[in-house]
Amino acid sequence: MTAVLLTVLFCVGFVWSVSIGTEPIGLGDILHGIVLTSSSTDSVPQLVVHLIRLPRALLAAMVGGGLAVAGVVMQSITRNPLGAPDILGVSAGAAVAVALASTIWPGLAGYGLIVLSFGGAALAAALVFGLARFGRGGLSPVRLALAGVTISILLFSLMQGILIVFSQDPSLFFFWLVGGVNYAEWHEVRTAAPWMAIGFLLAMLLAARLNVLALGDDVAKGLGQNVGLTRFVGSISVVLLAGAAVAVAGPVAFIGLIAPHIVRRLVGYNHFVVIPLSLLLGAAMFVYADIASRFLIEGGETPSGIVTALLGAPLFILLARREKVAS
């Protein structure tokens, strides 16, 4: 039932995103534009739909969905309700790596950038975990969250500083600070799609294990699971999903945190259901956010990430307030 609702929500958003823009385009043209197989048509509206709106809506869906799934996996393997790529530093690591690389090595192609993005994401994750484990006390969710925020601030300060000193144009890093899909093209969709598909597959493969892991490390070990392996594969999935998302759309905030929570409230904790539905909800959320970003500033575009940042923050506060988090 929820699945149906979410699907409808997503489809409505998707179609809406493809239908609106600066020029009104008729439904017939829209449909033609979607199913267009080549750019051989002369019809400008159809080309606009096919070459601009469609990849933008698709990328928004992919990025939103990917981040949501990454959030689910992170929350499960760290047993931290505040787990998300942007909160635990992963997004920051990826964003800084790509921002610096594309500024310092301008010729770097799409695949080179993605690999760097993965590297940045993985390194940031390692830093966060290392920082959180240091000293007495266990790897508590609070410590993870604090470590994540600390590393994020560190990386963003670094990036801001370097861009200020070396870049010609300060408005460049709005993109790298908030993220967005405003300039999406098929090129970005093609670059990110395979990695996100692998990441999603990995997550689904882990679904059963994650269900068991949720019962507690001891229980899982007692049932014969290799929890270390589960966490490792899970981390790879997160790096792939978040790394690819950030490489093409910048560090989009809060979807990875909030979508899993909403889905869990609606359907419970079974990962076989939670993961795909989070994908749907995350996709829908970012598609709607992207639509909203076209109307925020009159006459121009705002980075789509700013909408999720502004709307997600109060929800984050609600979550932080409510969570019964063990020390």
Partner 1 sequence: MSATPVAVPASVVVAKRRSAAVVIAILFGLALVVSFATLGLGAVKVPQPEATKALFGFGTVDEVRTVRDFELPRILIAWLAGGSLAIAGAVVQGVIRNPLASPDVIGVTKGAGLAVVIVLLAYPEAAVSYLPVAAFVGGVAAMAIVYVLAYRGGTTPIRLALVGIAVSAMFESIIRYVMIDKQQAVGTALVWLTGSLAHVDMTTVWEFLPWVLVLVPLCVVYALKLDLLGLGDDLASGLGVAVERTRRITLLIAVLLASATVAVMGTIAFVGLIGPHIARRLVGSRHAVLLPASAGIGALLVLVADAIGRGIHPPVEIPAGMITALIGAPYFVYLLARSL
Partner 2 sequence: MKKRIGGILLLLGLCSLLVVSAAAGASAKQKPRAKFDPTCGPALGAQRTVDGTLGSVTIKGTPKRVVALEFSFVDFLSQIGVKPVGIADDNDSKRITPPVLRLVDGYTSVGTRAAPSLEKISSLHPDLIIADADRHATILRQLQNIAPTIALDSLKQAYLPNLHSAVLVGRLMNKCGAMRVRVAQDKAVMARMKAAVLKATGGNGEKREAMFVVTTNKVFNVHSDLAYTPSLLKAIGIPASLVVKPAKDANPYAELTMESLLSNNPGIMFVAQNPPHPTTDENFSKSPLWNQLSAVKDKKVYYVNSNLWSKSRGLLAGEMIAQQAVHLLYHKFVPITLPKVAGKNT
- Please give the residue ranges that form the binding site for partner 2 (CB under 8 A): 21-23, 39, 44, 47-48, 51-53, 102-103, 106-107, 164, 168-169, 171-172, 175-176, 182-183, 185, 187, 297, 299-302
- State which H helix or E strand residue 281 sits in: helix 271-293
Can residue 146 be called a binding residue for partner 1 (CB under 8 A)? yes
Q: Which tokens hold the place of 195?
A: 């990695």
Give helix 186-205 / helix 227-249 axis angle, nearest 10°: 170
Q: Does 323 bind partner 1 (CB under 8 A)?
A: yes
* Angle at CA of residue 88, ends 133 and 92, nearest 5°: 125
Burial track 153-168 (b if 16+ CB lie within 10 A, e otherwise): ebbbeebbebbeeeee
266 and 1 in contact (C-beta within 8 Å)?
no
> Of 221, 322, 250, 238, whose CA–CA distance to 59 is shortest?
250
Query: Interface with partner 1 by CB under 8 A: which range of 13-21, 47-55, 140-148, 229-237?
Result: 140-148
Should residue 103 be labelled a site residue for partner 1 when binding is judged by CB under 8 A? no
**Tokens for 63?**
């990025």
Distance in Å, CB of 311 to partner 2, minimum: 20
Cα separation, 128 vs 150, in Å, equals 8
Does 306 participate in binding partner 1 (rule CB under 8 A)?
A: yes
Please identify, using beta-carbon distances, which residue of 215 and 325 lies nearer to partner 1: 325
- Among 60, 90, 97, 147, which residue interacts with partner 1 (rule: CB under 8 A)? 147
Residues of this chain, 212-251, that bind partner 1 according to CB under 8 A:
none
Interaction of residue 121 with partner 1, rule CB under 8 A: no
**Do 95 and 157 contact (CB within 8 A), yes or no?**
no
Q: Binding of partner 1 at residue 82 (CB under 8 A)? A: yes
Binding partner of residue 235 among partner 1, partner 2, none, CB cut-off 5 to 8 Å per kind: none
CB contact set of 86 (below 8 Å; sequence gap of 6+): 67, 92, 152, 251, 252, 253, 254, 256, 257
Residues 133 and 192: beta-carbon distance below 8 Å: no
User: Smallest distance, Å, CB 48 to partner 2?
Assistant: 6
Q: Which does 126 bind (CB under 5 to 8 A by kind): partner 1, partner 2, none?
A: partner 1
Listed residue (83, 314, 313) closest to 178, CA to CA: 313
165 binds partner 1 (CB under 8 A): yes
Provide the binding-site residues for partner 1, judged by CB under 8 A.
82, 87, 126-127, 129-137, 142-143, 145-147, 149-151, 153-155, 157-158, 160-162, 164-165, 170-171, 174, 177-178, 253-254, 297, 302-303, 306, 309-310, 312-314, 316-317, 319-321, 323, 325, 327
